[in-house]
Homo-oligomer: A and B are copies of this chain.
Amino acid sequence: MPETSKPLRADAERNRRLLLDAAADAFAEHGLEVGVAEIARRAGVGQGTVFRRFPTKEHLIAAIVVDRMHQATARGREVLTDPDPDGALFELLASMLGSQQADRSLFEAVADTFLSNEDIRAAHTELVGVLDQLLGRAQDAGAVRDDVGALDVLMMFKGVCEATRAFSSVDADIAARQLELVRAALRPVGTSERLSGRPPTLADMERAFPRAEGKASA
């Protein structure tokens, strides 16, 4: 629903797209510290237009992140019918890792903005939903330990993204290796080696990331 809040005027919609593309390119090349002026210049619009389309620079970043999360969710739905559930799960993670390595600072933004943004919240919930299904299938097949939840996996994945960020360009193998270690961590285990506590839930995340914006509860 946050996607179709208002049918923008033609030029506005066009500028929005131009800005998203220009910003994605600029961020991919130079990281998040590129100035708004530079982005506006690349998009061929006035500097003020940036803030007319996005309340803040962080919202612009968030919009790009939401795009990527939607892509990941779509990819997840694709592999959902894969005959090999274990392979499907890690193919999704590998695919996400690849797209985060192409860019610089992609999920980096997620760390800060995360659930403070309503759109990211929604996209995140969707992604967790797909991950949950993939994980459940892998667990049913006995390929993954059954005491982990989708958020456990997502957190580990996020860890890999962050830890290997600087290596993206230099050594893609290092990231792949870290992903293999995640896979190793998720192998089925005996009852004596079960994890403490319970898997984190979306409610835990809600608690950790206080809701900042959003126009009340209607």
Residues in A lying within 8 Å of B, measured CB to CB: 111, 114, 145, 148, 152, 155-156, 158-167, 169-171, 173-174, 176-178, 180-182, 184-187, 189, 193, 195-197, 200, 204, 207-209
Contact = CB atoms under 8 A, between A and B. Distances in A.
Nearest to A184: B185
B159 A176 contact: no
A54 B190 CA distance: 52
A200 B173 CA distance: 9
B180 A200 contact: no
Tell me if A's interface is mostly helix, strand, loop or mixed. helix
- 10 smallest beta-carbon distances between A and B, as pairs: A159-B159, A185-B185, A162-B162, A159-B163, A155-B163, A158-B163, A181-B185, A173-B197, A184-B185, A170-B208
Contact of A155 (B114, B158, B178): B178
A114 B164 CA distance: 12
A159 to B, nearest CB: 2
Contacts of A148: 181
Contact of A158 (B162, B182, B200, B204): B162
B178 A159 contact: yes
Contact of A174 (B159, B174, B204): B204
Copy count, this protein chain: 2
Contact of A166 (B145, B180, B196, B209): B209
A145 B193 CA distance: 16
B162 A111 contact: yes
A171 B200 CA distance: 9
Given A167-B204, A170-B208, A184 B189 contact: yes
A195 B174 CA distance: 10
Contacts of A174: 155, 197, 200, 204
Nearest to A204: B171
Contacts of A164: 155
A195 B180 CA distance: 7
Given A162-B111, A182-B185, A184-B189, A176 B196 contact: yes
